[in-house]
Amino acid sequence: MCASVLLMTGSWAAAPARSASIPIDNASFEAPVVDPNGFGAVPFVDSWTEIDVDTVAGTNTGVFANTAADSPDHVVNADGSQLAFLGSQTGNALEQDLAATYNTGCDYRLSVAVGFSGLFPPSTLEPLDRLELVLYYRDANDVVDIARQTVDATGLSATELTDISLYLPTVQPSDAWAGMAIGVALRAAGMPGGFWDMDNVRLVESLPVSIPIENASFEAPLIDPNGFPAVPFVGSWTEIDVDTVAGTNTGVFANTAAGSPDHVVNADGSQLAFLGSQTGNALEQDLAATYNAGCDYRLSVAVGFSGLFPPSTLEPLDKLELVLYYRDANDMVDIAQQTVDATNLSATELTDISLYLPTVQPGDAWAGMAIGVALRAAGMPGGFWDMDNVRLVESLPVSIPIENASFESPVVDPNINPYGAEPDVNQWTEIDPDPFSRNTGVFRNTPQGSKDHIINADGNQLAFLASVLGNALEQDLNAVYKTGCDYRLTVAVCVSGDPYQPSDPIELSLYYRDANNPNLSIDIVSLTVGTTGISSTKLQDFSVHLPTVNPDDTWAGQNIGIAIRATGIPFEAGGFWDLDNVRLAESLPDPEIALTIKE
């Protein structure tokens, strides 16, 4: 796998670290305890597998006690009183196999606070000594690396740790590591003589939510196949064009036929956007979604260039900027920016370029503001960028287990059940006014190629819910609403095809139960989902967000309840909603960690 890797560097603050969603044993290397009256280090690291090329004394791996606060070699932002050391020679490593597994649909971020020994620093001369952060899994007993981030000692310190992070993109169902136990490794790659200092190992699991972007693949306006193959307009985007007369620097164009020398082989759909390379040309879009505190964001765009009019790769380079912004009144304020030039890009195959915005804090000026996306040229006139498939993903760090979240139980056996459905949904409370319980249940997706096949179902089955008020699915979780955390409930939704298509909306809700009346559920936040634009063959994600839980909220500490409820007019014939892949994400905002980003 060619994993997308994110390197995050910055002073690691001596403050409560962001809550690691996945436990790592002895993550801050406080065991074994170093005797304060003895030597200040021991050649052991509890709960980690030590791989040490010194097979006799094992002096390349171990833990050491931080020195007193007024000592010249004191590590000012250590987490706890001890750290780990790792000899710089290739072959030295610390590894840990976790109980947690790589979950399909989630991405992962491994972070380690890193410094080096002041007495024995790793070499910063060629060949550089390096430290590798690795996420792996085991195929039988063989370690198989999935993603790796390498760092050298340049810019690091002997007295202040720096966070280094490795990012593993969303795990796909077909990935060999999906469902396998997570492995974490810290490995030396260099010559003997130096030592790395390490602390506060964290692993965060994120559950991304896709945020809608209008005309994200530039299929509008539709180009007449019998006319000129480009138009100087881009539906749903604000076009900023230095050619104020003809507007020839922004627009959409039709991909050429497969087999043509200029055909873009991996375009999403049949059209792409073009953008003139001159500074001042741009496409912008203000979204309905907002920057939510506790969430981070990743903007991705598939980028190439015109084969006839490529942007310049000579100094000064023409560049394309990906930007996330918000508006302060009418003034646009950029939050994060990623720049790319045409070097290593292609005229016939698009490359994904991504911009990462770290966790939005409650005190950020953009928290709660509408999200803005911009694609801007920065260069000289004469060239053109090709762009496609703009995506924005929002993530919360912790996935909370939901029983039977994809409605695979009870199993509908197509050899026994000719109807392909069961009026039961295991692990969910079914609220159904029909005494025969025909308003709630699970059904088996039809075979691929069938006209009513749901193309993006998670697993083989989905749930159905009649649209008439009074029908609902509810589940009371073991997890509780934690003070300081945000929550996001996401459900994949579509409508039943004719003649059972609903006309009334459904509600997604987060609730808790009244302590004095456990049968009474009290909604905290709800989202109404209407039928407009909803497909019968492709699920669409809808999410309801609960802002940070405060200590005085009545639901703080209460068990989390999730509900999917019909809202249609009683006693009238209605249709059916199809539901799948229910997810609940929890975040723990930490405003005290400030990081700078390089991607």
H or E element, residue 403: none
Using alpha carbons, list the distances in angstroms from residue 398 to 53, 108, 590: 37, 10, 14
Question: CA-CA distance, 528 to 502, in Å (whole number)?
Answer: 14
pLDDT digits (tens, 9 = 90+) for 221-259: 999 989 999 999 999 999 999 998 888 999 999 999 999
The pLDDT of residue 573 is: 61
Using alpha carbons, list the distances in angstroms from residue 363 to 73, 288, 393, 591: 34, 21, 22, 8
Residue with tokens 């399909």: 104
599: pLDDT strictly greater than 70: no
Q: In this structure, are residues 397 and 585 in contact, taking their beta carbons and an 8 Å threshold?
A: yes
Question: CA-CA distance, 359 to 589, in Å (whole number)?
Answer: 7
H or E element, residue 102: none
pLDDT digits (tens, 9 = 90+) for 339-371: 999 999 999 999 999 898 877 877 899 999 999
- DSSP of 237-263: SEEE-S-TTT-TTEEEEEPPPTTSTT-
CATH class of this structure's domain 7-207:
mainly beta
* SS3 assignment, position 306: coil
10: pLDDT strictly greater than 50: no
To the nearest whole number, what is the mean pLDDT of the chain? 88
CATH architecture of 230-395: Sandwich (2.60)
pLDDT digits (tens, 9 = 90+) for 383-393: 999 999 999 98
Q: Is-above-0.75 flag for pTM?
A: no
The domain 399-587 having CATH identifier 2.60.120.260: the answer here is yes
154: pLDDT strictly greater than 80: yes
pLDDT band at residue 17 using 50, 70 and 90 as cut-offs? very low
Question: CA-CA distance, 492 to 540, in Å (whole number)?
Answer: 5
Where are the domains positioned within the chain? 7-207, 230-395, 399-587
pLDDT digits (tens, 9 = 90+) for 271-295: 999 999 999 999 999 999 999 887 8
Positive or negative, the CA dihedral 249, 254, 255, 256 is negative
Tokens of 269: 């759909």
Cis peptide before 192 (omega within 30 of 0): no
Residue with tokens 């080096």: 116
Tokens of 6: 């994110």
Tokens of 173: 């169902």
Question: Quick one: average pLDDT of 305-318?
Answer: 96
The pLDDT of residue 512 is: 97
Strand partners, 424: none
Question: Quick one: average pLDDT of 98-114?
Answer: 89
Q: In this structure, are residues 341 and 311 in contact, taking their beta carbons and an 8 Å threshold?
A: yes
The pLDDT of residue 75 is: 93
Percent with pLDDT over 90 in the chain: 66
* SS3 assignment, position 467: coil
Question: Quick one: average pLDDT of 126-150?
Answer: 95
Question: CA-CA distance, 115 to 106, in Å (whole number)?
Answer: 30
pLDDT digits (tens, 9 = 90+) for 512-547: 999 888 889 999 999 999 998 899 999 998 989 888
Question: Quick one: average pLDDT of 157-167?
Answer: 91
The pLDDT of residue 486 is: 79
32: pLDDT strictly greater than 60: yes
pLDDT band at residue 36 using 50, 70 and 90 as cut-offs? confident
Q: Which range among 80-89, 92-101, 325-334, 566-575 shows the weakest confidence by mean pLDDT?
A: 566-575
Question: CA-CA distance, 115 to 163, in Å (whole number)?
Answer: 9
Sheet strand arrangement including 429-431? 429-431, 472-480, 559-566, 506-514, 517-529
Sheet strand arrangement including 181-189? 49-51, 93-101, 181-189, 130-139, 142-152
Question: Quick one: average pLDDT of 419-426?
Answer: 92
Question: CA-CA distance, 388 to 333, in Å (whole number)?
Answer: 24
Whether 7-207 shares its CATH topology with 399-587 is answered yes
pLDDT digits (tens, 9 = 90+) for 172-221: 888 999 999 999 999 999 999 999 999 999 998 877 778 999 999 999 99
The pLDDT of residue 588 is: 52
The pLDDT of residue 419 is: 82
pLDDT band at residue 571 using 50, 70 and 90 as cut-offs? low
